[in-house]
Each structure stands twice: as structure tokens, then as C-alpha cells.
Amino acid sequence: MAFEGADPGTVRPGGRTARVRASVLRAAGDALAEHGFAHLDLADIARRAEVGKTTVYRRWGTVTGLVADLLLDMAEQSLPRTETGSLLGDLKANARLVQRTLADPRQGALFKAVIAAATCEAKTAQALHRFYDIRVEEWAPCVQQAIDRGEVPEGTDAHEVIRAVSAPLYYRLLTGSGHLDEAAADQAAEAAVAAARAGAYLIDRSEC
Amino acid sequence: MAFEGADPGTVRPGGRTARVRASVLRAAGDALAEHGFAHLDLADIARRAEVGKTTVYRRWGTVTGLVADLLLDMAEQSLPRTETGSLLGDLKANARLVQRTLADPRQGALFKAVIAAATCEAKTAQALHRFYDIRVEEWAPCVQQAIDRGEVPEGTDAHEVIRAVSAPLYYRLLTGSGHLDEAAADQAAEAAVAAARAGAYLIDRSEC
């Protein structure tokens, strides 16, 4: 169950426990993408994963527990950030990863399902929030490097810049406004760089 | 059922039919905000609205039909745009309307519920898309005025600029990343203006 990249069929090393987890999370992702959160059922997921029902109940307990673990796994498997030597290059790489993920039928449906679930399930909301925290933390250093290179002003909020790249792509996914194509990804990166250069993401803007 | 502004208790003129519609849409909005889309039930809404069940079934037919009408009503009742004389002023006014709506407990919950429903209901997705089209259409002329004043380059995509203002606020609402406060609204407007000035929203960027 990879976010942006690794083959979703890949079974990670670690013996039977890890294989069971990989199978169950893959089945949960498939079920979410196909039918949404409302129809998620642990017994059905156990069947899809060819794993004993009691194993699934014992390990994950509830559907929300399973989705939280799925999001943790997606965060753990996120691709590491690319370093291109310029902020625009780095943010375009990030934007294209997000765009490819959201435009992918299975992954896009999966994200829609999890975001929808998070609107009414506190535990899923926490897990989703944590997922984005990990993703943002992974990419934030490229903004610090841009500050060090003098590309954007000292005091730029690196986390806000990374979120600004994702926001218009998620907005397209969820409101159906505009295409989720590479042009959208590049535009998101270019807009974030221009805004950061102009000081729109300075941490304490009252001091400027 | 107003988006951003008008007293939600206001009954519009137009006699009994309009009053029934206003009561039912208000009840539907309350139910959505309280319990989400999954628990929406026409009989319950009729009870809340103190309107006969058959009237509700005859007029709206299904829960998705009712939510589509609610979104149409929200779009119709959206506040008209403010003209401040500068793009930044206009976009800040827009951003603060969006922010106040999404930060409001009832309206924020209502938007979350409708966006969640749109992820799995094609008719709701269409209605939501239409809602944003109307909102964007209402505000887009402020970008054209900014082009005419020479604030942003000729060929700037006005609709994209308006969407860019909303995107980070919806991203905060749905991912739980960061506060949904006035500072977030102002930052969204400032970022959109800076990006537009830099040409990030030019319609055909290959020509630049």
C-alpha cells in the first residue's frame, strides 16, 4: 500500500507477520478504493487477503484501526524527496508525485475514501493528519535549502510551502474543478515558489 | 441555508412553496452538519422541517436530490463579491468569506459532509462542482479588473486565481493541517496575488 511509488504488490521483508500485514493492508486499500469507507468490513477484508478473520480482528480490532494502520504504512512507504538543486525543481518533483497519486484511479479513490472517512471519524482524521505531517516533514528540508541558497526569504515557513503545493491538487480531486494533470502539478509548484519568494509564507509576517 | 452570510433562518419571499423549501433545506443542512451524509433520511428531515413526508418525497425524491438542491440554494444565496479597488483587497475579502464559512462549526461540518458525500455519489459530485462554478464565476471578474489595471499579466486565468484562494483553506479543513483563521485567509490571498503577478496562472504558459 504505497503512497506515490512502490509497487503495491510488493511484500516487505520481515516474515509472516509482515506478510500478513501487507496482504491485509492491500486488501483494505482495494476495498476502500472500490467501495468507500462506509462499506468496509473486516471479515470481507480477511477473505480478500486470504487471512484468518480472527487474526484481522485481533490485530486491528476495528475498521478505523485498520485504516489508521493503512495510512501509517502509506506514510512509511512514501518515496523519499528528490533533490534537484533548485526550489522549483524540488517542488515540481513533489507536485508530480502528489498529482500522479491522486490521478491514479485506485490511489485517487483511496484518498477520497480516507478523506471522506476522516470528516466523520476522529481516529481516521488523526491518522490522516499524521500522514500529512510525515509527508510534509519529508519535503520541508528542500525549502530550508532554498533559504540557505537565498532563493526565498529567511523566515519562510517550510511546512506551509510544502502544503501550498499539495492544496490545489487536493482541491481539484475533491471539488472536481479542473484537470489533475502534469500542468496542474507544475502550476502548483510555480505558484508556491512565486508566493514564497514574495514573502507570502513568512512565519511572522507582522515583523516584515 | 446561506453560504457565507445571510441569516440561515431567513425565509425568502415567494409564498408557501418557497417557505417549505427553505424549511426543508434548513433541516437538511442541520441534519448533515450534525450527523453527516450517511445518516441523512428524508422522513427525519420532514419531521425536523415540520413538513409532510409525502411533500418531501414528491419534491426531492431522494437524499442526493435534496442535497443537490441544498447546494444550488447555497450557491444562489452566496454573497456578491466585494470591490475594494485592488486585487489583494478583493481576494482577501473572498478568502475571509470562505474562511469564516469553513471555520463556522455548522457550515464547516456541512461542507465536510457534502464533500464526503461527493466522493461516492456522482449526483452530489456534480452539484458540488456546480456550486464551485457559480462561486468562481461570481468572483472571477475581480481578476479581469486587475488585468485591466495592470496588476497582473494579460492572459491570467481568472478562474484559476479564484480557486487558488480557496484551495489552501479547504486543504486545512479536510486534512486538519494548520488553523483556519484570518491569518490563513490573508495568506491564501497574498500567495494567490504573488503567484498571479509572477505569471503562474497564465492560461497558455507555453507562449510565455
- Out of B129, B168, B197, whose CB is closest to A167? B168
What number of C-beta contacts closer than 8 Å exist between A and B? Answer: 137
Q: Do A129 and A147 contact (CB within 8 A), yes or no?
A: no
Express each pLDDT in A158-199 by its tens digit.
Answer: 999 999 999 999 999 999 888 999 999 999 999 999 999 999
Q: Tell me the nearest-neighbour CA distance from A126 into chain B, angstroms.
A: 8
Whether residues A175 and B129 touch (CB distance < 8 A) is answered with: yes
Q: How large is the average pLDDT for residues B105-118? A: 94
User: Which residue of A lies nearest to B114 if distances are taken between CA atoms?
Assistant: A116
Q: Which among A38, A163, A191 is the nearest to B195, CB-wise?
A: A191
Sign for the CA dihedral angle at B188, B193, B198, B202 comes to: positive
Helix (H, G, I), strand (E, B) or coil at B79: coil
Distance from CA of A196 to the nearest CA of B (A): 8
Contacts of A92 (CB under 8 A, 6+ apart): A84, A185, A186, A189, A190
Of B116, B119, B191, the CB nearest to A164: B191
ipTM above 0.85, yes or no: yes
CA distance A126 to B174: 11
Q: Can you give the residue ranges of every domain in chain B?
A: 16-74, 82-203
C-alpha cell at A97: 508525485
Q: Cell numbers 491564501 label which residue? A: B188
Tell me: the pLDDT tens digits for B19-32?
999 999 999 999 99
* Identity of the residue in B171, B177, B195 whose CB atom sits nearest the CB atom of A171: B171
Closest-CA distance, A72 to chain B, in angstroms, reads 15
Give me the amino acid identity at A112: K
What is the rounded CA–CA span in Å between residue A120 and residue A129?
14
**Angstroms from B175 CA to nearest CA on chain A:** 6
Are residues A90 and A177 in contact, defined by beta-carbon separation less than 8 angstroms? no
Distance CA A82, CA A79 (A): 9
If you measure CA to CA, which chain A residue comes closest to B34?
A120
Q: Is the pLDDT of residue B174 over 70?
A: yes
Contact B168, A164 (CB under 8 A): yes
Strands (E), chain B: none
**Could you give the percent of chain B with pLDDT greater than 90?**
78
pLDDT in tens, A134-152: 999 999 999 999 999 999 9
Give burial (CB, 10 Å; 0-12/13-18/19+) of A77. middle
Give chain B's length: 208
For residue A6, pLDDT beyond 80: no
Q: What is A16-74's CATH number?
A: 1.10.10.60
- The reply to whether residue A178 touches residue B160, judged by beta carbons under 8 angstroms, is yes
Whether residues B200 and A178 touch (CB distance < 8 A) is answered with no
Q: Do A201 and B194 touch (CB under 8 A)?
A: no
8 Å CB contact between A115 and A174: yes
Residues of B in contact with A118 (CB under 8 A): 174-176
Does the CA dihedral A97-A103-A105-A110 come out positive or negative? Answer: positive
Burial class (CB in 10 A: 0-12, 13-18, 19+), B28: buried
Nearest chain A residue (CA) to B186:
A200
pLDDT in tens, A81-112: 989 999 999 999 999 999 999 999 999 999 99
**Shortest Cα distance, chain A CAs vs residue B51, angstroms:** 28
Nearest to A119 among B36, B126, B187 (CB): B36
| Contact (CB, 8 A) for B1 and B25 | yes
Least confident among A20-24, A204-208, B25-29, B200-204: A204-208
Beta-carbon separation of B198 and A198 below 8 A = yes
Within 13 Å, how many C-alpha atoms sit on residue B202's CB side? 14
Q: Which of A107, A105, A129, A89 is nearest to A4 (CA)?
A: A107
For domain A82-203, give its CATH number from 1.10.3720.10, 3.40.50.1170, 1.10.357.10, 1.10.10.10.
1.10.357.10
